[in-house]
Amino acid sequence: MKTIVYNGMLVTMNENMDMYPAGYVAMEGTKVTETGSMEQLRQRYGDVFSTEEGGEAGIVWEDACGGIIMPGMVNTHCHMSMVPFRGLGDDCKDRLRVFLLPMEEKAMDRELAVLAARYGICELLLAGITTVMDMYYYAGDIAGVMDTAGIRGIAGETVMDQATCDAKTPLEAMDKGLEAMEKYRDNPRVSVCLSPHGTTTCSREYLEQIYRKDREYHVPFTLHTAEMDYEMFYLKETYGLGAVEYLDRIGVLGESTLAAHAIQVSPGEIEVLKKRGASVAHCIGSNTKAAKGVAPVKRMLEAGVPVGLGSDGPASGNTLDLFTQMRFCANFHKNELRDRSAFPARDIVAMATRWGATALGLHHVTGSLEAGKEADLVVVETDSANMFPVYDPYAALVYSAQAANVKTVYVAGRCLVKDKKLTEMDLGQVRGALAEKMRRTAFRDQGLVKF
């Protein structure tokens, strides 16, 4: 069955950044088979798509109604299961120790992680995100939720030098993660990786072992890097090194390495990132809300380091959508650089799509609309008040659009959002199940549940 999405401003994000003011995308099975202008569509298929009958048998015609057709977005750093912690102690100076860690210890279990991940996936899909790099616990279960929900994703099993909600020791976490990695080894859409928590929260021997395992399974080796003051202080005091230098020194910086945050990175370290082929997940919303600073992304991009955008967890960045991140990215970097022309909208859309896919090692699979790649496609409507007029679709996506403008979403050719509604899940039911579970946990005992 062929589906053709037509009559939209087509932003392909392919290598040439081809853009069609009026264009179409054809999909068959899980793949994109053609892209082009409306003129080319007419030449190939005649005017049949505009007839009431829908034209040629076997083709599903989907009118984008003049909206923006773009590749599905790629969220390169997320902790979906932390949805219950969204908005908790947002303005508290020591929020992590006062709110998050105690609540995680008291309330988090497999059921809550799974129900919250399902809710997170609904939020991601409704915001036009078709690929997510998640990092939390119970990765095997989270991968199962991704698989059923239809999103493309990598579920990271967090490993750290202390007991967590799903493992008493780092070795137990690694065993669990490896079992899930094996289970999803041949899955075309979902995979699992081992994710060290951070450069100083996971000891050197585990970092080395995990790096080797992740490479063996061709999945990202991703960890919080150069994010925290205590992390930088410890590495400087102990080894006289920055975080990227440390990862390089112990031999875990390579093409599969995805450094999340990478805020406190020196110019020399950017060169090292480039030399090793490593990537960065830039979480500007989370970083600036926590007053951690702005990563030197301009320099990274100039050096040729692939940089994708990440929402971080809902406890840190609140919303999981990338429209918010694209806007923050433009605003903070332009302001930092005192240069209105820095970070043009097209580059920021590339970070949310093509470069994000590269950062996850999925550039051959997703991140652009072109024949042969997976059909991960989004239509952003331009009928809403905030979307008129559109002179430049890239600028409209970065400066005007919101997640609420996402009308249609396909992942691997499967329509998961239509007319702004999930097609296979019921958001009310997913939220109800999560709220009901929260009422059975410490969220109620602590008086936090008021719903």
The contact set with Zn ion (CB under 5 A) reads 312
Q: Which is nearer to Zn ion, 55 or 89 (CB)?
A: 89
Q: Cα(200)–Cα(383) distance, rounded to whole angstroms?
A: 49
Closest chain position to Zn ion (CB): 312
Q: Cα(252)–Cα(258) distance, rounded to whole angstroms?
A: 11
Q: Cα(397)–Cα(381) distance, rounded to whole angstroms?
A: 10
What is the Cα gyration radius of the chain? 22
> Degrees (nearest 5) of the Cα angle 425, 153, 24?
75
Q: Which two tokens stand for residue 185?
A: 């080894």
CB of 315 to Zn ion, least distance (A): 9
CA distances from 378 to 99, 228, 404 (A): 36, 35, 12
DSSP string, 55-73: SSTTEEEEE-TT-EEEEPE
Whether cis (ω within 30° of 0) applies to the bond prior to 196 is no
Q: Does residue 37 sit in helix, strand or coil?
A: strand
Q: Which is nearer to Zn ion, 136 or 410 (CB)?
A: 136
CB of 147 to Zn ion, least distance (A): 23
Q: Cα(325)–Cα(303) distance, rounded to whole angstroms?
A: 22
Q: Which is nearer to Zn ion, 3 or 81 (CB)?
A: 81
**Letter for the amino acid at 158?**
T
CB of 197 to Zn ion, least distance (A): 9
**Helices and strands (DSSP H and E) totals, the chain:** 18, 17
Q: Which is nearer to Zn ion, 199 or 405 (CB)?
A: 199
Q: Which is nearer to Zn ion, 166 or 312 (CB)?
A: 312
Q: Which is nearer to Zn ion, 312 or 347 (CB)?
A: 312
Q: Which is nearer to Zn ion, 134 or 312 (CB)?
A: 312
CB of 312 to Zn ion, least distance (A): 5
CB of 103 to Zn ion, least distance (A): 17
CB of 99 to Zn ion, least distance (A): 16
Q: Does residue 414 sit in helix, strand or coil?
A: strand
CB of 79 to Zn ion, least distance (A): 6
Q: Return the half-sphere exposure (C-beta side, CA atoms, 13 A cut-off) of residue 276.
A: 24
Q: Which is nearer to Zn ion, 292 or 327 (CB)?
A: 292
Residue identified by tokens 């970092």 is 207
Q: Cα(230)–Cα(196) distance, rounded to whole angstroms?
A: 17
Q: Which is nearer to Zn ion, 61 or 136 (CB)?
A: 136
Q: Cα(347)–Cα(361) distance, rounded to whole angstroms?
A: 19
CB of 337 to Zn ion, least distance (A): 25
Q: Cα(335)–Cα(342) distance, rounded to whole angstroms?
A: 9
Strand partners, 3: 27, 60
Of 159, 86, 132, 95, which Cα lies nearest the Cα of 292? 95
Strand pairing category for 406-411 and 414-418: antiparallel
Backbone angles phi, psi at 432, to 5 degrees: -60, -45
CB of 319 to Zn ion, least distance (A): 15
Q: Which is nearer to Zn ion, 41 or 322 (CB)?
A: 322
CB of 313 to Zn ion, least distance (A): 6
CB of 132 to Zn ion, least distance (A): 13
Q: Which two tokens stand for residue 112?
A: 């809550």
CB of 317 to Zn ion, least distance (A): 9
Q: Which is nearer to Zn ion, 312 or 376 (CB)?
A: 312
Q: Which is nearer to Zn ion, 245 or 312 (CB)?
A: 312
Q: Cα(166)–Cα(104) distance, rounded to whole angstroms?
A: 11
Q: Cα(182)–Cα(168) distance, rounded to whole angstroms?
A: 21
Q: Cα(255)–Cα(272) distance, rounded to whole angstroms?
A: 12
